[in-house]
Structure 1
Amino acid sequence: MAAIPPPVAAIRVAVRRALTELSADGPVLVACSGGADSLALAAAVAFVAPRAGHAAGLVTVDHGLQTGSAERAETVARWAEQVGLTPVEVVRVEVAGRRGGPEAAAREARYQALVEVAGRHRAAALLTGHTRDDQAETVLLALARGAGPRGLAGMPPRRDLAGVPLVRPLLEISRGQTRAACAALGLTPWEDPHNLDPAYARSRVRAEVLPVLVATLGPGVLDNLARTARLVAADNAVLDELADEALLAARHPDGGLAVKTLADLAAAVRGRVLRAWVHELGAPPAALSHRHLAALDLLVTDWRGQGAAYLPGGLRVVRRAGRLLPAPDEAPGAVDEAPGAVPAEGPDPAVPGL
């Protein structure tokens, strides 16, 4: 028996490990663009899934942004059928008219399509081909943007996407390994020209920043960046658990949060509590920035009689009677007075001592 090329074996092991952690029935679906990463993943799934007792299919999305994109998608679909993947679907999406830049709009359209197909087939999971190199790029971009611990945690190996488990089996596999696996299997990946377009920040990081880091600090820098993401993610998980408990303790029956309880929390926990709370109020997560959370925190930690904190989605939060409350309409005397001022009205009898 011929020896399995090491890159092929490594990817199959990563896929097998991911599949053994799935608990739901239904097929696993690979999101495949035809690039080296997702093509190597799809080939590994086609080999591993039947042996692990899983049905496996493939979805490829045609964004319609490049000449020949429809033909490329059909080529990927025909290959998937030949290697035994089923169901296989080509989904065409409309990117124009969506929010954000072209990259964000394409990503939103792609994931909406993938979730729709996964839901229709009651998939056990949706698998994507993000690699260790993608993770390193994500960490660097997050660091450059001042994203904080959530950004530095990078992409999680598994998360819920509109009720569908999104699984990334290759986060410890390098891009070089996926290319080598495709070569060993006789597969010809599609080279997305967007990956080389300097108009995109990720493309510049990939083509210019990472090579300099590797040349300066050695090839281990990519592993170290990915390891940093795993370590920060583990810390985030603990802090998030503490924040869940603290949010429950700070809640008031009127929907507000008790300022005294918030003030006693460590800053890292309080920030997570405030973020979770305003998400519940309807603030769009993608639009919520550090500036918004800092304004909320000042209502707790540096109260000087300031007005409402303004949040995305048209939300406002005020401090009133020792609580943070959403304020659709601000009225005179509705907020707490600055320290040392004569109160406009007595304390709320429902919260004695505040």
Structure 2
Amino acid sequence: MSQPPDAPLLLVACSGGRDSLALAAVAHIVCAAWGLRCGAVLVDHQLQEGSHEVSWHAAEQCRELGLDPVVVVPVTVTASGQGEEADARASRYGAFVETAQQYDASAILLAHTANDQAESVLIDLIRAAGTDALAGMPDHTSVDGVLFLRPWLMDVTREQTTAMCQDLGLHWWDDPTNGDHIAPQEPLPAAYPLRSRVRHTLMPEFNRFAGRDMVSRLVAATRIARRDVEYLNAQAASLYDEAVHMALPTPAAPGDDGARDDECVETLAELDVDALREAPEALRFRVLDQALANCDIPHGSAQIEAIDQLICAWHGQRPVRVAKHYSALRWPHVIRLCKDKGHANRRRAGHHRP
């Protein structure tokens, strides 16, 4: 039964893989029962030979399932220096957002499963550290005002989506970079994406070592960690509003109020030392991380710790060089995040010295 044209629309992000095809089939049934429209958006990254045919074959299966509209969006993946996987993800989400806005979709459904959640924890622990790494992916998020939902993240496994596709006669596509064609007992070469190597090699070995299903264990851990992270984020957001003042229009004036640095040519943010010093360390670090990110200043945990020393262990030390052209310097009761080009000015001035 077709839904009214003004009924809310949900779009399934479909890659042609087993997870997203199974989600398209189930979402169509559930949406029909709830009086919602259900469509699909497929992104052709054009990175592999035959990608066009894969997208259109998956789109045809979505249409046969009854989804409408079904939109195929070709994109050009632009290299940013972050790696092809990250660049493809940025292009994909950009296409999702544009399509959702074009069709006035209420949300986009992503087919991440419990397996994806468990793999994400291991990947984040390899790449980073901290509570956020243990929290995995959230079940919902917003990108440029578009709501993304992951309905299968905590409960549905890849084995179950495979069985769904087999029962429904759906023909899925396996990305060759997943390494499914390589025997399970053979580790994937380092040339394969990290997620593929975690899925193919690390997770099965983890299960064997532990003697149990570590996917369910890791997913259970993310439920607890996500709860804690969301609480910390809410508390940090309140502290951020109190302690951080962004985008000051007036450049810093060297020498004012005890300034120790003569290179700050533009103040990007001011941090209230008194408000931050009295806060728990867990919240301070989150606020500092968010402030640096909002100023587009590259940073890591070492830079955050150094700025925290300006707040809590101030003894007149020199400003912290956060990244090239960026510094954090302390006035009596303020930390200024500054854009710094003084060293370049000195180099230019040096050419005029006698």
TM-score, normalized by the shorter chain, greater than 0.5: yes
Residues 256-283 of structure 1, C-alpha deviation per residue, up to 9 Å, x if partnerless? 2221221221110111111222233333
Partners of 1:232 and 1:161 in 2: CA distance: 22
**Corresponding residue for 1:186?**
169
**Corresponding residue for 1:231?**
224
The alignment of Structure 1 onto Structure 2 pairs a total of residues equal to 305
Contact 1:31 1:128 survives alignment (8 Å): yes
- 1:300/1:25 Cα in 2 relative to 1: closer, same or farther (>3 Å)? farther
Shift of 1:136: 0.5
Contact 1:57 1:87 survives alignment (8 Å): yes
**Corresponding residue for 2:349?**
none
- 1:219/1:59 Cα in 2 relative to 1: closer, same or farther (>3 Å)? farther
Residues 1:148 and 2:157 are matched in the alignment: no
TM-score, scaled relative to structure 2: 0.80
- 1:79/1:313 Cα in 2 relative to 1: closer, same or farther (>3 Å)? farther
Residues 1:326 and 2:337 are matched in the alignment: yes
1:53-68 equivalent positions in 2, closer than 5 A: 53-68=35-50
Partners of 1:235 and 1:244 in 2: CA distance: 14
Shift of 1:81: 1.4
2:291 partner SS = helix
Partners of 1:111 and 1:304 in 2: CA distance: 46
**Corresponding residue for 2:281?**
267
Shift of 1:303: 2.5
Residues 48-89 of structure 1, C-alpha deviation per residue, up to 9 Å, x if partnerless? 111111111101111111121101111111111122111111
Contact 1:282 1:313 survives alignment (8 Å): no
1:291 partner SS = helix
TM-score, scaled relative to structure 1: 0.80
**Corresponding residue for 2:271?**
257
Shift of 1:240: 1.4
Residues 299-327 of structure 1, C-alpha deviation per residue, up to 9 Å, x if partnerless? 11233433333445843221112211122
From 274, 287, 311, the equivalent of 1:300 is: 311
Partners of 2:296 and 2:219 in 1: CA distance: 32
2:339 partner SS = coil
CA RMSD of aligned residues (A): 2.2
Partners of 1:89 and 1:227 in 2: CA distance: 35
- Whichever residue aligns with residue 50 of structure 2, its letter is G
Shift of 1:227: 1.4
Partners of 1:91 and 1:266 in 2: CA distance: 46
Residues 1:175 and 2:175 are matched in the alignment: no
Partners of 1:79 and 1:312 in 2: CA distance: 49
- Whichever residue aligns with residue 293 of structure 2, its letter is H
Partners of 1:202 and 1:188 in 2: CA distance: 23
Shift of 1:252: 6.2
Q: Which moved more, 1:212-221 or 1:40-49?
A: 212-221
Residues 1:70 and 2:52 are matched in the alignment: yes
Partners of 2:120 and 2:110 in 1: CA distance: 15
1:1-354 equivalent positions in 2, closer than 5 A: 26-171=8-153, 172-196=155-179, 198=189, 199=191, 200-251=193-244, 256-283=270-297, 287-311=298-322, 314-329=325-340
Partners of 1:51 and 1:128 in 2: CA distance: 20
Q: Which moved more, 1:248-257 or 1:119-128?
A: 248-257
Runs of 4+ in 1 over 6 A off after TM superposition: none
Contact 2:7 2:37 survives alignment (8 Å): no
Contact 1:25 1:124 survives alignment (8 Å): no
- 1:312/1:72 Cα in 2 relative to 1: closer, same or farther (>3 Å)? farther
Greater fraction strand: 2
- 1:115/1:251 Cα in 2 relative to 1: closer, same or farther (>3 Å)? closer
1:210 partner SS = helix
Shift of 1:329: 4.7
Partners of 1:328 and 1:110 in 2: CA distance: 32
- 1:123/1:288 Cα in 2 relative to 1: closer, same or farther (>3 Å)? farther
Partners of 1:191 and 1:52 in 2: CA distance: 32
- Whichever residue aligns with residue 305 of structure 1, its letter is G
Partners of 2:210 and 2:38 in 1: CA distance: 40
- 1:250/1:100 Cα in 2 relative to 1: closer, same or farther (>3 Å)? closer
Shift of 1:97: 3.0
Partners of 1:305 and 1:94 in 2: CA distance: 51
Amino-acid identity (%) = 38
- Whichever residue aligns with residue 49 of structure 2, its letter is T
Unaligned runs of 5+ in 2: 1-5, 180-187, 249-268, 343-354
Partners of 1:97 and 1:261 in 2: CA distance: 41
Residues 145-173 of structure 1, C-alpha deviation per residue, up to 9 Å, x if partnerless? 23311222111000101110111111121
Q: Which moved more, 1:88-97 or 1:37-46?
A: 88-97
Unaligned runs of 5+ in 1: 1-23, 332-354
